[in-house]
Amino acid sequence: MMKITNLAQPVTIAAQGSFFSGGSVIKTEGEYELHSKDNPIGQTLHGDHAYVFYQIPEKAKKYPIVFLHGHGQSGKTWETTPDGREGFQTIFLRKGYGVCVLDQPRRGRASLGTEGTNINASPNDIYAVNSLFRLGIWPDYFDTLQFDKSEETYDQFCRWQAPNTGPFDMTVVSDGVAAALTDIGDNIFVTHSMGGGVGWMAASKSKNCKGIISYEPGSNFVFPEGEVPEPLPSSHEPLKGVGIPMERYEALTKMPIVIYYGDNIPESWCEYPGIDAWRVRLDMAYIFAETINRHGGDCQVVYLPKDQGIKGNTHFPFADLNNSAIADLMEGFLKEKKLDIV
């Protein structure tokens, strides 16, 4: 049973609240009849917005941090860890940053979309949680693993998942997230997994992003049109890059970017798709960084075990047992890039 747990130290907050950003409005033709109930004739629907929950500490640093979750997740990603400790939302609040936690359009508290869908409650814990989130080669755990192996922690972690409540549409989702970045104002943008791909798109559409920290970005690495690399073959599926116009791509060459990956990513072809996916994503991240830097940008890939000697991280380094060290590493990056100014 999870419980209310005190913070390591109290935090004084000067602002807190939530709002919706972006989105669209659809309307059914005709004239609404007040005697009717759920007849859509003549009615509107407001959907496809992003949800933002913000907290600003007293004497906050200049740039708040915006946190975007990944595929099949919600803003919960950044709150309490699966084993009940402080997540990045609270850790960075105490480090003096404003924190803004997003639910992307058609997910979580932003689940009202303008297109319907079918939700299939299909069991997928082993594929999604054990394999894609890299706890181990099921039924085993990896030997070196920063994840609490108790039943309760696993139970909580499985429940972090949240289905799409409408078709996944990259334009809709990245427009909603870009609107949130703009509403929040100048910011530091932290993304995870598929949120990495959404994040490249959103950051290329907003003027307010001052730097990006991406944890384990997955699909939708962006490249200038005409410079998209060949797909990388994998037992998961071939990983493709996505081309965007140079005038949008350029935004990504004008801010510092760091990409972190956890441990236990195979060095060569792995027959298990949930694991092999990460081999080609890490490979693509290096091509992505190299392309950004060739265009005058500042992008680095940090593979934690190789570059920092930090072992055992899963697909969620910021929520792992060593997430305090992972936060310190990110804080160091913010200092180095002068994104920690007051």
Q: CB-wise, 73 or 220, nearer to a copy of itself?
A: 73
Q: Give the nearest distance from C-beta 22 to a copy of itself in angstroms.
A: 10
Q: Give the nearest distance from C-beta 165 to a copy of itself in angstroms.
A: 6
Q: Exposed, middle or buried, 29 (CB in 10 Å: 0-12/13-18/19+)?
A: exposed
Q: CB-wise, 1 or 342, nearer to a copy of itself?
A: 1
Q: Give the nearest distance from C-beta 77 to a copy of itself in angstroms.
A: 10
- Nearest CA to 64 out of 109, 95, 87 is that of 95
Q: Say if residues 199 and 191 touch (Cβ distance below 8 Å).
A: yes
Q: Give the nearest distance from C-beta 310 to a copy of itself in angstroms.
A: 24
188/341 Cα distance (integer angstroms): 12
The residues pairing with 25 across neighbouring beta strands, listed in sequence order, are: 46
Q: Give the nearest distance from C-beta 183 to a copy of itself in angstroms.
A: 5
Q: CB-wise, 136 or 256, nearer to a copy of itself?
A: 136
In this structure, the dihedral spanned by the alpha carbons of residues 31, 36, 39 and 40, taken in order and rounded to 10 degrees, is 40
Q: CB-wise, 8 or 246, nearer to a copy of itself?
A: 8
Q: CB-wise, 10 or 309, nearer to a copy of itself?
A: 10
Q: CB-wise, 137 or 302, nearer to a copy of itself?
A: 137
> Which residue type, as a one-letter code, is found at position 20?
F
Dihedral sign (CA 221, 261, 63, 6)? positive
Q: Say if residues 53 and 101 touch (Cβ distance below 8 Å).
A: yes
Q: Give the nearest distance from C-beta 27 to a copy of itself in angstroms.
A: 6
**φ, ψ at 128 (rounded to 5°):** -75, -50
Q: CB-wise, 101 or 334, nearer to a copy of itself?
A: 101
SS3 state at 249: helix
- Residue 93 token pair: 């609040």
- For the chain, the residue count is 342
SS3 state at 174: helix
Q: Give the nearest distance from C-beta 307 to a copy of itself in angstroms.
A: 29
